[in-house]
Amino acid sequence: MNKTAFITGASSGIGRATAVALAKAGYQLVVTGRRRERLDELAQELAPTSVHVLTFDVRDRAAVEAAAAGLPAAFQHIDVLINNAGNAHGLAPIQDGDVADWDAMLDGNVKGLLYVSRAVLPRMGEGGFIVNLGSIAGYEAYANGNVYCASKAAVAMLTRSMRIDLLPRGIRVAEVAPGMVETEFSEVRFKGDEARAASVYQGVEPLRPEDIADLIQFMVTRPPHVQIAEVVIFPTAQAAAATVRRQA
């Protein structure tokens, strides 16, 4: 019987790429997100892999719990949980920050991870594996990153605490903390300003979602006695959160 991976934020970017990678590795999938049409397209693309689609916002605790409770019998046991859903909104000094942006980041990046983990853990047994998507922003502050950095620092600490708490159950817990990855991330952060989003990657070859997915697939397919606990991954052109080599 195939193992089952539960992936949040699977409609685009790293989540989508991870779904493709784990399908190739033989997992059946529960893919979740807010954009049903994209998830349905992904499920069709991954055929004949068994895929169950769930549409909810990780910030909605009741919706998360209902979705997990309603999983079909064939998807009831979860072997791998990828807590990928998250967001960045705005880039402003703390005194000028938009409170709605703060709420969106803390609710999605921190509380959403907690809601999903709590709903899935009763369906995970010995040998389970949780991967939380953090960021270099959780390790290094940078100008105007304040609340986003704080939310990803929370992911780093939650990951370490979860690893301790779940040790008696034989469940591995890891964090992947990427640097610059070209996804819809910057478009969301800059509220649809495509030119500003594109400028983030100007003169740089960033990581691609597939690079992160390849790493995640490697991590979750290690032997049961091996746990890769934390990985920071940069493109070659990046040395730290705000230290990037740009070429004309």
Asked if 58 contacts 66 with a C-beta cutoff of 8 angstroms, the reply is no
Instruction: Residue 216: name the closest of 155, 146, 129 by CA.
Output: 129
CA-based end-to-end distance of the chain? 51
Written as one letter, the residue type at 204 is: V
Helix (H) or strand (E) holding 5: strand 4-7
For 67, half-sphere exposure in the C-beta direction (CA atoms, 13 angstrom radius) is 27
Q: How far is CA 72 from CA 30, 32, 78, in A?
A: 10, 14, 12
3-state secondary structure of 230: strand
The confidence score (pLDDT) of residue 185 equals 77
Q: Which of 27, 139, 148, 201 is catalytic?
A: 148
Work out the number of other CB atoms within 10 angstroms of the CB of residue 106.
17
Q: With contact defined as beta carbons under 8 Å apart, do 156 and 140 qualify?
A: no
How confident is the model over 54-70, as a mean pLDDT?
98
The angle formed by the CA atoms of residues 131, 132 and 138, to the nearest 5 degrees, is 140
Does 4-185+208-232 carry CATH code 3.40.50.2300?
A: no
Q: Taking Cα atoms as reference points, which of 208, 212, 244 lies closest to residue 231?
A: 212
Active site residue 148: yes
CA angle 147, 153, 156 (to 5 degrees): 150
Q: For 7-55, how does the pLDDT look when each residue is reduced to its tens digit (9 = 90+)?
A: 999 999 999 999 999 999 999 999 999 999 999 999 999 999 999 999 9
- Kindly report which listed range (2-11, 44-53, 153-162, 195-204) carries the lowest average pLDDT score: 195-204
Instruction: Indicate the domain borders of the chain.
Output: 4-185+208-232
**Distances from the Cα of 30 to the Cαs of 27, 35, 73, 155, 234, in angstroms?**
10, 14, 12, 22, 28
H-type helices in 166-236, by residue range?
Answer: 185-189, 194-199, 209-220
Take residue 107 and report the two structure tokens written for it.
């609710």
Residue 187 has pLDDT above 90, yes or no: no
Q: How much is the pTM?
A: 0.96
What pLDDT is recorded for position 178? 98
pLDDT at 192 over 90: no
Q: Tokens standing for 167?
A: 């040790």
Taking all residues of the chain, what is their mean pLDDT, rounded to a whole number? 96
For the stretch 65-92, pLDDT in tens is 999 999 999 999 999 999 999 999 999 9
- Predicted confidence (pLDDT) at residue 228 exceeds the cutoff of 80: yes
